[in-house]
Chains A and B, each alone.
Chain A
Amino acid sequence: MTVVIMVALTLVLIGAALVVFTRSTARQAVLLAVYGLLLVFVFLAMQAPDVALSQLAVGTAVVPLMVMLTIRKISALHRDRKDRR
């Protein structure tokens, strides 16, 4: 079991680094969802299915979706501003 936890934690570490060091925001949102999924495996390895379920719903679906929609909105605003200048 300890091995499984160690592997899961290492994956989370790699995932977090990927999210932080990615430059493109759109790609970051997708990687954030992947990172959320990796966290689910950590919670499962630590025998916390309730927490894993919450993380799965919020961390891999709701939060990345909000980030993506925000990015889309901001880029649309930038386009509008450019058009009017």
Chain B
Amino acid sequence: MTPRVRLVMLLVGLAGVVVMLATALPELPGFGGHTHPYRDRAMTAAYHQSTANAVASVNFDQRAFDTFGEETILIASVMGVAALVRRLPEEQRRERRQRGHVLESTRWAATVFLPLTVLLGADVVTHGAITPGGGFQGGAIAATGIHLLYLGGRYRLLERLRPLALFEVTEAAGLAGFLAVAVTGLAVAGSVLANFLPRGQLTQLLSAGTVPALNFAVGVAVASSIILLIAGFLEQALAITGHRSDSQADDEAAS
């Protein structure tokens, strides 16, 4: 495929997108406004399912199957990146002392905020059904919190506190937990991801049926996958030194 053919294909595709956008955009309601048919239906459904956080209700109850698809995409992309940044046979791993100077204040701030951040992440996951946040947000907060150790200049400690083999297991376990809730819904209530648990009272911690359970599963999966993702990058940047033959380096330069 020559560049010219590729360019023509691109232009054809772009023209199609532009035409469709130009016909669709005038039909959109104005920015802001007071009529929101989707909101009205989603809020009503969320209320009926005793889920105080309507967004959580949409994500984990009204269209939970889509969320399952999104989780799978996340896990798949993390696996792809992990495969890309893995250590090649000709790359050597070198225990490298962390260079650079870490300010004492940074070190202290990292030490103080580490437990707080992980706790906040856990809190955001648990209260996903009643306050803003949920599995994805809380998992990301907790996973980034652990990396405060790296900012505080304690990469060795981070390596010790971060059993990567365990996180590979918990990543899969989070996805499996989501799947288990989905299949149980099918078995108990006759449809995949049906909200089969008692829904309790609106705004209580244990309300909204399966939403907190799904949030927890997603939280575990997301936290594990972000830790694995950053671990791959840290490993490449700090510990792996590429000693490759010059011919390969020249091949790369030529490509």
Taken residue by residue from 2 to 42, chain B's Cβ proximity to chain A (1 for < 8 Å, 0 otherwise) reads as 00000000000000000000000000000010000000000
Interface positions, chain A 17-76, Cβ under 8 Å from B, are: 48-50, 52-54, 57-58, 61-62, 65-66, 69-70, 72-73, 76
Contact flag A72-B237 (CB < 8 Å), given A50-B55, A77-B242: yes
Interface positions, chain B 115-134, Cβ under 8 Å from A, are: 124, 132-134
B residues less than 8 Å from A50 (CB atoms): 53, 55-56, 132-134, 137
Q: How many residues of B contact A (CB 8 A)?
A: 27
**CA of A74 to CA of B203, assembled, Å:** 50
A residues less than 8 Å from B132 (CB atoms): 49-50, 52-53
- Contact assessment for A73 and B236 in the assembled complex, using a CB-CB cutoff below 8 Å: yes
B residues less than 8 Å from A58 (CB atoms): 140
**CA of A62 to CA of B229, assembled, Å:** 9
Among B55, B133, B137, B226, residue most surrounded by chain A Cβ atoms (within 10 Å): B137
Interface size class of A (residues with CB under 8 A): 20 to 34
B230 lies within 8 A of chain A by Cβ: yes
B residues less than 8 Å from A84 (CB atoms): 246
B233 lies within 8 A of chain A by Cβ: yes
B residues less than 8 Å from A80 (CB atoms): 241-243
Contact flag A62-B140 (CB < 8 Å), given A53-B132, A73-B236, A81-B249: yes
**CA of A70 to CA of B147, assembled, Å:** 16
Q: Which residue of B lies closest to A84 (CB)?
A: B246
- Contact assessment for A65 and B147 in the assembled complex, using a CB-CB cutoff below 8 Å: yes
Partner of B236, one of A2, A57, A69, A81: A69
Q: Which residue of A lies closest to B136 (CB)?
A: A54
Interface residues of B (CB under 8 A from A): 32, 53, 55-56, 124, 132-134, 136-137, 140-141, 143-144, 147, 226, 229-230, 233-234, 236-237, 241-243, 246, 249
Q: 15 more A-B contacts (CB under 8 A) besides A70-B237, A73-B236, A73-B237?
A: A48-B55, A49-B133, A50-B55, A50-B134, A50-B137, A57-B140, A61-B140, A65-B147, A66-B230, A66-B233, A72-B237, A76-B241, A77-B242, A80-B242, A84-B246
